[in-house]
Structure 1
Amino acid sequence: MRISHSRVFAAVAAAIGVVLAASPYAKEAGATHGVDLAGIDRSVKPGDDFFDYANGAWIKTNEIPADRSSWGAWGVLSELNNQRVRELIEGAAATKAADGTDAQKVGDFYASYMDETGIEAKGLAPLKPDLDRIAAIKDKAALASYLGTTLRADVDALNATNFYTDNIFGAWITQALDDPNRNVPYLLQGGLGMPDRDYYVSDSPKMAELRTKYRAHVAALLKLARIADAEAKAERIFALEMKIAKAHGPRVDSEDVHKANNPWKRADFANKAPGLDWSAYFKSAGLETQSDFYVWQPGAIAGISALVGSESVDVWKGYLALRLIDRNSPILPKAFVDENFAFYGTAISGTPKIRDRWKRAVAATNGSLGEVVGKLYVEKYFPPEAKAKIEAMVGDLIKAYHARIEKLAWMSPQTREKALAKLATLKVGVGYPDKWRDYSTLNIVRGDAYGNAQRAQQFDYKQALAKLGKAPDRGEWVMTPQTINAVNLPLANALNFPAAILQPPFFDAQADAAVNFGAIGAVIGHEISHSFDDQGSQFDAQGRLVNWWTPDDAKHFEEAGARLVEQFNGYKPFPDLAENGKQTLSENIADVAGLSAAHDAYILSLGGKPAPKLQDLSGDQRFFLAFAQAWRTKMREAAMRNAIVTDGHALAMYRGDTVRNLDAWYPAFEVKEGQKLYLAPKQRVQVW
């Protein structure tokens, strides 16, 4: 939801923060409450392509807006949400709020981002102090010290669904894998301008074409910044990034928490990752007193550190200047904005038109002052009765999981006891956090868009550093209330369901139980399942990485996962590119288990009575259609290719076909042997 995603850094983000990749269900704004009958393509047999059956007519009659790389019912909700947040923020911007108040900060941050005339007049002047600091780097010690300052911007910038940061390393400060009573820093690979190592090393013609466009993009930015010898410097920068990419571990390895379980002492870095002056680096990053770290991709950390030692200071200085300019292009003059979008928006994602300035300003304000905006949002758009209804649905889903675990014939009593203990201690947050963040120390100045962004990043980093030496807070949220998404946090054994997703089309108080359980119920079930998927199942009730499975139970679970990997490996949207079932396994397990539990909860909600027939559909038909229409999405080819390479979630069209693993789907739509989605009973994957 994006639903990044649901997972730890996709693994601590499947293990630290699990994000459900977002997409919506059936109806557009203003439609009737229930399944979108007009969106169904009845020329398609449900047993051949259920996603296309449920959504085909809508897909044929709707176009992706020019400023988007994909579109669906979620997009409609996103547009509505953007308008609501815009009104809240612009209301704050229009007031003469006292300095230091939340309203002043929100209003001035947004107004500064929107001040295109002022930004144009300043040119690159706001970046000059930082560019001068880069230019002043004379040796490897000074280089290490500067690189340490770049870590400060990455604490919350890392995307839990793709591990991406364009600084050489990323940091995340959260609970230790082996000790639920302390927070520690995690260090991750970074440093690439393109989304993933595959963009650099793949022999695909599509990737080769993007590499050519990226080199041109780098040169264009350097020329815009009036940096001498731009073409030659661009080639040297690209060559350095190519070496960084080759040092990176592949995405699928990053999903494996055991490969990431690498505790290093502060003193280990000099021996295990020579090349970088780690003392200077950690001092500059504010981590000089830390003795314990987790290194998520040790090969990459060592490889990048070696490049700091082997590559010339001048090459690194050019690279750092490029990264600074590229990262901040959205708040620089229009020529930089346009160049940034031409590559990242059009070349990478296939989007022909940039979003309106106000939409970008809303996103930036949410990113820097999210919980300030969130408080305003909740007060206006999330009444207490909505929170109560969703909490009741969560309770129903937890009961359904409890019953499913109790009935698992293959699970031993020892493992079952641990699973039920984990379920019983799951902390669920609905709508908004119990405790709001305090932004009183963050200084926002009207007219200083670049300075505001930098200070907001430093504020986030200082708040993260303050967690060190303290016990983890299981009630802390990683999403804002106005985010259309949901998340599971395996290290905290906790779930967050932000207010913005708890409305039509995901949840509709006027729709019947079948539709709500098929839509938001499957989302809730999905997130609960992440506590028990291939990643979450490796964490106990306290979030400790520990094996609580018997060998026989683990073997059964692994065999079921292997069948799901094989199932998704068979989906090939392009002749040269297929889904990676291993990379998407956690999300696919969550879809199967979440949908199964949601169906159980729906049946329980009927209280033994037969389901009513509505819209000329049975209860099960409405349930499964609501689920498949929840993944209603059209994507541009470039965006699809990017998602397959970088995302831990399968494409929406394949997620919608998850129904083929549930026995109840077959009689509901008279699916017969010989149809494309048909699976013999023993082939259907039932994990939980």
Structure 2
Amino acid sequence: MKKQFLLAAAFASAVSGVASPPKTPVRKPQPAGSAATSSAAPVRKFIDPANMDKQVKPGDDFYEYANGNWLKTSKIPDSKTSWGSFTELRERSVEAMRTLLDEAAKNPQKGRLQQMVGDFYASGMDSVTIEKRGWEPLKGDFARIDKLNSLPAVLDELALQRRQSNGMLFGFFVAQDRKNVNKYLPQFGQGGTTLPDRDYYLKNDARSTKIRAAYRDHLTKMFGLIDDAQAAQDADKIIQLETALARAQMARVDMRDPYKTYNKLTISGFNAITPHINWTDHMAKLGATGQDTVLVSNLNFFKAVDSLLVATPINDIKTYMRWNLLKGAAPFLSSPFVKQNFVFTRELTGQKQETPRWQRMSSLIDGTLGDLLGQLYVQNNFKPEAKKRMLTLVDNLEASFKEHISGLEWMSADTKKKALNKLVSFKRKIGYPDKWKTYDGVTIRRNDFYGNVEAAGQWAYQYMVNRLGKPVDRTEWGMTPPTVNAYYNPVNNEIAFPAAILQFPFFDADADDAINYGGIGAVIGHEMTHGFDDSGRQYDADGTLRDWWTADDATKFKQRAGQVEAQFFGYKVLDTLAVNGKLTLGENLADLGGLAIAYDAFKKTPQGKGNTAIDGFTPDQRFFLSWAQIWRIKVRPETQAQLILTDPHAPGQYRCNGPITNLDAWYQAFNVQPGNKLYKAPDQRIRVW
């Protein structure tokens, strides 16, 4: 299932932090469309001048003007790869989860919900028992792998491991058919590698070469921890095999094309391109029974997998399987494995200290029993009035977007009609699911951490394959309530905003409209615009991958999108590394459209219609300053280099500065003139939506 996210997975996987921001005094929420003016309550500065650098001209670098002093004085905590608005909120979210988990661990008798999350957390914090077990949890799997002596036996073991949530060699999942969205379909994708991107295996620049050397050292040391007598040789075998898989993988830019990755095959057709893999048999062992059709994202990759399975000595394949088990289990084993894992993480990301155990456990439980922990989170950290205010904001953003579509000079009436139909068909998910997963069949034991991880993983796999043959459940969420993020899902044509993002600086019930529209309003617009970005526009109102554009309108859209692509290719990040305008195009289009739509919606509020300054800033200035402060972030150079390759989002500085240079209102708000570094002549400003 393809989703567009406000932030990249690379950031989401690095959720961590060390301090919770001070709590805001609770005041009566202001009605939508009005500014907070009460003098009885403590005054909070939603735009803090102490964070700004007013020595920088707004028109030269708006990001630095809005955030410069914050950037100079803030430090990335040693246990983090980055620090900024998102990570500060994630810190608050993880702290909240810790409180809930501590309480549940102390009171498991309160009920099944508390028992499951509390005992899981307690087992993960029981470092004494975890240290005693060492790598014992893997020994049974390793003994079975050692006995494999044929390709059919290897394939059977691969299927067994996948059912245990240890997928390797390729990707497999069950999700909606993009061209028949009311049906779940088995889907196969490329995979099988460890490094963050195929380029790390294939390029010979200094960074890639250094990472490969560190990876080989990591492999050798990890194998050494399990008493592998030929650890160095096995490390070389892993790199050789993974490099072959990387060569067969499609580039990330190509993977963004929903048509390039849509290859529907009968099972017999799939068998024909992989003569040494019987998919009828293998899918039965995967538990994906009763199917005659599959989707395959990259046919050439599976041809390569088939050839590799035959050409690679079986002992090397067994080594590869042991490695995949070991790397997947390492975070849940004794400290030598956790520490060595971190040594390699440090090389990849620049992170200086391990993430504290309690934070790792909180994030793990959020990722495995998220609907249980999410219920506790919502009960304690989400106010009903926030959801009500969000629904109003979504209504206002939708009305603004309608006006934008209706007023497009470059789009024909026929395509406009279909675009408007898609817009009003958006499904909205705010805060938390309408129904929660119950995790029936999962047994959590207080003294068996690794067993709990396995049990949760096996349940998740079985839950996924059990979808086959059942009606599509459109109530499911792709994120848990404590997640600081948002997403658009094209096959459901839905936008979702988890509870944890509905906090300052994105949203605050006490803030004036300029703050909320420049923050969460632009995020709402961002997710809406994903339905009309270069990829999302190819799905229609019911989520089907189907062309609804006239040829002329599609050409005009691509011309405008190409201008955004070129703009972002022009941004240099680290020495020779530039933003990849093709990889980040969808997110850049969403930022540009979202900000423009949010601004026009803001101008319909009483504050937006007026010109009353607050703390010395006009309403329009506060709107754009709010936009700028949500993107403030400091990132370690090693992490930034990785994100340039893997992240479909541009760095925060360019997410801030890129879109505003195309909005006339920003020029007027800050009197940006020719000669300012960010200035673009009116006829050079890009408008897509």
The bucket for the TM-score relative to the shorter chain is over 0.9
Q: 1:524 to 1:29 in 2, by over 3 A?
A: farther
Partner Cα distance (2:161, 2:487) in 1: 27
**Secondary structure of 1:479's match?**
coil
After TM superposition, the structure 1 stretch with the greater mean CA deviation from structure 2, 549-558 or 292-301, is 292-301
* Structure 2 contact 267–280 (Cα < 8 Å) conserved: no
What is aligned with 1:13? 3
**Secondary structure of 1:237's match?**
helix
Partner Cα distance (1:251, 1:193) in 2: 15
What is aligned with 1:185? 186
Q: 1:573 to 1:166 in 2, by over 3 A?
A: farther
* Structure 1 contact 331–337 (Cα < 8 Å) conserved: yes
After TM superposition, the structure 1 stretch with the greater mean CA deviation from structure 2, 125-134 or 538-547, is 125-134
Cα displacement string for residues 599-624 of structure 1 (whole angstroms, at most 9, x for unaligned residues): 01100123873132111111111111
What is aligned with 1:3? none
Cα displacement string for residues 283-342 of structure 1 (whole angstroms, at most 9, x for unaligned residues): 221124321111112222222232122111110111111111111111111010000011
Structure 1 unaligned blocks of 5 or more = 1-8, 155-164
After TM superposition, the structure 1 stretch with the greater mean CA deviation from structure 2, 239-248 or 70-79, is 70-79
Matches within 5 A, 1:386-465: 386-465=386-465
**1:65 corresponds to which letter in structure 2?**
P
Is 1:126 aligned to 2:126, yes or no?
no
* Structure 2 contact 183–471 (Cα < 8 Å) conserved: yes
Q: 1:608 to 1:318 in 2, by over 3 A?
A: closer
**Secondary structure of 1:90's match?**
helix
What is aligned with 1:111? 122
What is aligned with 1:246? 247
**1:128 corresponds to which letter in structure 2?**
K
**Secondary structure of 1:664's match?**
helix
**Secondary structure of 1:675's match?**
coil
What is aligned with 1:65? 77
What is aligned with 2:507? 507
* Structure 1 contact 144–277 (Cα < 8 Å) conserved: no
Matches within 5 A, 1:116-265: 116-152=127-163, 167-265=168-266
**2:228 corresponds to which letter in structure 1?**
I
The alignment's TM-score, normalised by the length of structure 2, stands at 0.93
Aligned with residue 47 of structure 1, among 34, 54, 59: 59
Partner Cα distance (2:506, 2:318) in 1: 48
Is 1:297 aligned to 2:293, yes or no?
no
**1:456 corresponds to which letter in structure 2?**
A
* Structure 2 contact 82–633 (Cα < 8 Å) conserved: yes
Structure 2 unaligned blocks of 5 or more = 25-43
* Structure 1 contact 144–278 (Cα < 8 Å) conserved: no
Partner Cα distance (2:640, 2:78) in 1: 16
What is aligned with 2:41? none
Matches within 5 A, 1:630-641: 630-641=630-641
Structure 1 position 172, deviation (Å): 2.9
After TM superposition, the structure 1 stretch with the greater mean CA deviation from structure 2, 287-296 or 222-231, is 287-296
Partner Cα distance (1:224, 1:529) in 2: 49
Partner Cα distance (1:294, 1:33) in 2: 52
Is 1:34 aligned to 2:35, yes or no?
no
* Structure 2 contact 569–581 (Cα < 8 Å) conserved: yes
Structure 1 position 276, deviation (Å): 3.3
Matches within 5 A, 1:344-423: 344=345, 346-423=346-423
What is aligned with 1:517? 517
Structure 1 position 257, deviation (Å): 0.8
**2:623 corresponds to which letter in structure 1?**
F
Cα displacement string for residues 520-573 of structure 1 (whole angstroms, at most 9, x for unaligned residues): 111111011111111111001111111101111111110111001100000111
**2:58 corresponds to which letter in structure 1?**
P
What is aligned with 2:549? 549
After TM superposition, the structure 1 stretch with the greater mean CA deviation from structure 2, 124-133 or 565-574, is 124-133
**Secondary structure of 2:344's match?**
helix
What is aligned with 2:98? 86
**Secondary structure of 1:645's match?**
helix
Structure 1 position 28, deviation (Å): 6.2
Partner Cα distance (2:615, 2:379) in 1: 35
* Structure 2 contact 174–467 (Cα < 8 Å) conserved: yes
**Secondary structure of 2:429's match?**
strand
What is aligned with 2:27? none
**2:456 corresponds to which letter in structure 1?**
A
Matches within 5 A, 1:562-577: 562-577=562-577
**Secondary structure of 2:247's match?**
helix
* Structure 2 contact 607–619 (Cα < 8 Å) conserved: no
Partner Cα distance (1:554, 1:371) in 2: 41
Structure 1 position 495, deviation (Å): 1.3
After TM superposition, the structure 1 stretch with the greater mean CA deviation from structure 2, 525-534 or 465-474, is 465-474
Cα displacement string for residues 235-276 of structure 1 (whole angstroms, at most 9, x for unaligned residues): 111111111111111111111111011111111122123443
Structure 1 position 660, deviation (Å): 0.8
